[in-house]
Amino acid sequence: MKSFNALLTRRMEQMHLTTAELAARFGMTVKDAWDLRRGVVFPDAKRIAELAPLIEVSEQQLLAAIEEQRNRLR
């Protein structure tokens, strides 16, 4: 299982989606998008629901990836 930031980064690369484009789509700053992409912060339930279809993964996959990353940080 990939960690959240690895999954997000990989899917963004596959879709040719830049961090700036991610920020614009979600109405966040580029810094906030980078923090999300690097795994410094985790998305909340609303953001997961928005992010999953954008990067073409299920919400369940994102939740599992977030849990994997949290486990690695412990």
Read off the pLDDT of residues 49-64 as tens digits, 9 standing for 90 and up. Answer: 999 999 999 999 999 9
- pLDDT of 1: 65
pLDDT value for 39: 84
Provide the CATH number for the domain around residue 67: 1.10.260.40
Half-sphere exposure for 17 (CA within 13 Å, toward CB): 21
pLDDT averaged over 10-residue windows placed end to end, the chain, 74 residues: 90 96 95 92 93 94 94 84
Determine the Cα–Cα distance for residues 20 and 67; give it in Å rounded to an integer. 26
- Structural domain count of the chain: 1
DSSP 8-state assignment for residue 55: T
Q: For residue 59, how many other CB atoms are within 10 A of its CB?
A: 13
Structural domain boundaries, residue 37:
4-73
